[in-house]
């Protein structure tokens, strides 16, 4: 295929940073295999647990020649990361580490992810590619609303947006009454935020009689949590915007592992991240199109190169090439993200965390339900908790004390403000999904 032919096949909105997205599969495969050999060699040298498992399976780094050999390698799990010494997952000298980021991989278990300068540059590069694939232009003005979900992402996202020539609006404001004047005055054309935050903003605008339609807004760039088709449709209809979803993991790059193109394909950036789908029970590889657990292998991470990392994410590889022309493969929209119960303002929440608070405050785990907040409380969710008949019949002061303790302990344990409502017995069923 000649350079002229490739150039003729590129879309009108092509951005130079996305050139590798259109790499012929044979050349991409060669690049992946070369980077895989480097990744396996580094991981084998520096990760004792992986080295031990490879020895047990009689596998040496030299046995991994192409991406076809990937299935020979053992898995790495979240438990492996959280239960071991963090230094056992460090492949670079400590003097080269310029950032540590703590992430909650499992309920009650935190892992510290290291980054070198090279890792941060790679993350920046991947983000620029994801953003450019959406069709962002130099004329765009992008709003990054405030909130604790942007703690680790704000600097990287704003830098990537600025690299594309877009103007970035960093605002600590959270309420529509504060944000809408800024959106109108600056002609904001895109909002970059987790889906739950964008949906809460849309609903809050509707409750206050504000209107997002008819503004310069044309895009919602969503990251940090799974986005259902219903949520996407609701945002697109209410705000008259096109939704683009980004996928990432805090322990790798979040966002920055996959990005959505204008025709809807969620493309994995395969030149730096190999994707597999396995049966979550047996670990056996699954064919394209069949849903299973996403397994990722990093290609280019310096501080922590992970091999066959079991993400806990439920999805499938799309068997057909995307009509946009990119040769990078697509994954289905994310249906479930590990053991996570839900994401609130970009913060992962597990059932075990909620139940631990209920056990500590109430003395038991009564039936409960999580529902979207309909009253005041920007971006909050409501936790409905059944209480015992004895408490219901008790004095109002006792109910107020219980309510205050639940609110306080939930925010302290999870890091997100909750709206709590105490309800009578047999009012709700226990939530497990």
Domain count, the chain: 2
The partner residues of 370 in beta bridges, in order of sequence, read 383
| pLDDT for 4 | 43
| pLDDT for 10 | 46
Are 10 and 112 found together in one domain?
yes
What is the span of the domain harbouring residue 239? 1-330
Are 97 and 115 in contact by the 8 Å Cβ rule? The answer is yes
Domain limit, last residue, from 330, 361, 388: 330
Are 239 and 362 found together in one domain?
no
| pLDDT for 151 | 58
* 1 within some domain: yes
Are 124 and 179 found together in one domain?
yes
Residue 312 and residue 96: Cα distance in Å, rounded? Answer: 30
Are 110 and 140 found together in one domain?
yes
- CA angle 80–82–83, rounded 5-degree value: 70
* 286 within some domain: yes
Domain limit, last residue, from 330, 363, 392: 330
C-alpha dihedral, 110 to 114 to 119 to 120, nearest 10°? 80
The structure tokens 């990251």 sit at 223
Q: Can you give the CATH number for the domain in which 417 is found?
A: 3.30.300.30
The partner residues of 143 in beta bridges, in order of sequence, read 169, 191
Residue 303, CA atoms < 13 Å, CB-side half-sphere: 25
Residue 274 and residue 272: Cα distance in Å, rounded? Answer: 7
Are 206 and 172 in contact by the 8 Å Cβ rule? The answer is no
Are 285 and 401 found together in one domain?
no
| pLDDT for 61 | 98
* 57 within some domain: yes
Are 354 and 321 found together in one domain?
no
Are 45 and 81 found together in one domain?
yes
* 357 within some domain: yes
Domain limit, last residue, from 277, 296, 330: 330
Residue 92 and residue 210: Cα distance in Å, rounded? Answer: 51
pLDDT digits (tens, 9 = 90+) for 16-28: 888 999 999 999 9
* 430 within some domain: no
DSSP string, 299-363: SS-SS---SSEEEEEEE-B-SSPPTTS--S-EEPPP-EETT--EEETTEEE-HHHHHHHHHHHHS
Q: Can you give the CATH number for the domain in which 147 is found?
A: 3.40.50.12780
Are 295 and 380 found together in one domain?
no
| pLDDT for 372 | 55
| pLDDT for 279 | 96
* 433 within some domain: no
Are 95 and 29 found together in one domain?
yes
pLDDT (tens place) for every residue of the chain, 433 residues total: 444 444 445 444 568 888 999 999 999 999 999 999 999 999 999 999 999 999 999 999 999 999 999 999 999 999 999 998 999 999 999 999 999 998 888 777 889 999 999 999 999 999 999 999 999 989 999 999 865 445 568 889 999 999 999 999 988 776 777 888 899 999 999 999 888 778 878 877 887 777 888 899 999 999 988 787 888 998 999 999 999 999 999 899 999 999 999 999 999 999 999 999 999 999 999 999 999 999 999 999 999 999 999 999 999 999 999 999 999 999 998 855 555 556 666 566 767 678 778 878 877 677 777 765 443 344 557 788 887 665 555 566 777 888 888 888 888 877 777 888 888 776 665 443 3
Are 326 and 372 found together in one domain?
no
Residue 348 and residue 320: Cα distance in Å, rounded? Answer: 32
* 342 within some domain: no
pTM: 0.81
| pLDDT for 427 | 67
* Mean residue pLDDT across the chain: 85
Are 291 and 387 found together in one domain?
no
Phi-psi region of 57 (alpha: psi -120 to 50; beta: other; left: phi over 0): alpha
Are 10 and 66 found together in one domain?
yes
pLDDT digits (tens, 9 = 90+) for 329-364: 999 988 555 555 566 665 667 676 787 788 788 776
């Amino acid at each position: 295929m000649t350079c002229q032919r490739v150039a003729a096949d590129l879309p009108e909105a092509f951005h130079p940073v996305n050139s590798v997205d259109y790499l012929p599969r044979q050349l991409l495969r060669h690049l992946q295999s070369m980077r895989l050999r480097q990744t396996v060699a580094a991981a084998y040298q520096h990760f004792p647990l992986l080295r031990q498992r490879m020895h047990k399976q009689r596998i040496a780094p030299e046995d991994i020649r192409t991406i076809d050999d990937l299935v020979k390698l053992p898995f790495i799990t979240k438990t492996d990361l959280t239960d071991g010494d963090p230094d056992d997952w460090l492949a670079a000298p400590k003097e080269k580490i310029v950032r540590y980021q703590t992430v909650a991989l499992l309920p009650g278990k935190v892992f510290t992810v290291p980054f070198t300068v090279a890792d941060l540059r790679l993350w920046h590069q991947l983000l620029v590619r994801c953003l450019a694939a959406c069709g962002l232009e130099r004329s765009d003005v992008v709003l990054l609303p405030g909130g604790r979900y942007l703690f680790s992402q704000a600097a990287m996202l704003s830098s990537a947006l600025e690299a594309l020539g877009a103007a970035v609006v960093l605002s600590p404001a959270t309420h529509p009454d504060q944000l809408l004047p800024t959106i109108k005055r600056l002609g904001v054309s895109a909002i970059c935020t987790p889906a739950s935050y964008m949906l809460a903003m849309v609903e809050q605008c509707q409750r206050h009689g504000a209107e997002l339609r008819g503004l310069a807004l044309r895009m919602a760039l969503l990251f940090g949590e799974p986005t259902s088709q219903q949520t996407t449709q609701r945002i697109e209809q209410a705000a008259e915007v096109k939704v683009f979803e980004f996928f990432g993991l805090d322990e790798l790059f979040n966002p920055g592992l996959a990005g959505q193109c204008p025709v809807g394909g969620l493309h994995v950036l395969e030149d730096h991240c190999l994707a597999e789908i396995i049966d979550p029970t047996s670990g056996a590889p699954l064919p394209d199109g069949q849903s299973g657990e996403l397994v990722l292998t990093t290609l280019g991470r310096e501080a922590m190169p992970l091999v066959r990392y079991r993400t806990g994410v439920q999805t499938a590889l799309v068997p057909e090439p995307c009509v946009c022309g990119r040769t990078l493969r697509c994954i289905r929209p994310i249906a479930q993200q590990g053991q996570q119960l839900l994401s609130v303002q970009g913060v992962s929440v597990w059932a075990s965390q909620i139940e631990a608070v209920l056990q500590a405050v109430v003395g038991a785990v009564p039936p409960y339900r999580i529902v979207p907040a309909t009253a005041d409380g920007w971006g909050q969710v409501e936790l409905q908790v059944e209480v015992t008949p004895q408490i219901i019949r008790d004095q109002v002061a006792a109910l107020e004390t219980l309510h205050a303790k639940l609110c306080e302990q939930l925010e302290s344990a999870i890091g997100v403000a909750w709206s709590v409502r105490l309800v009578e017995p047999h009012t709700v069923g226990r939530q497990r999904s």
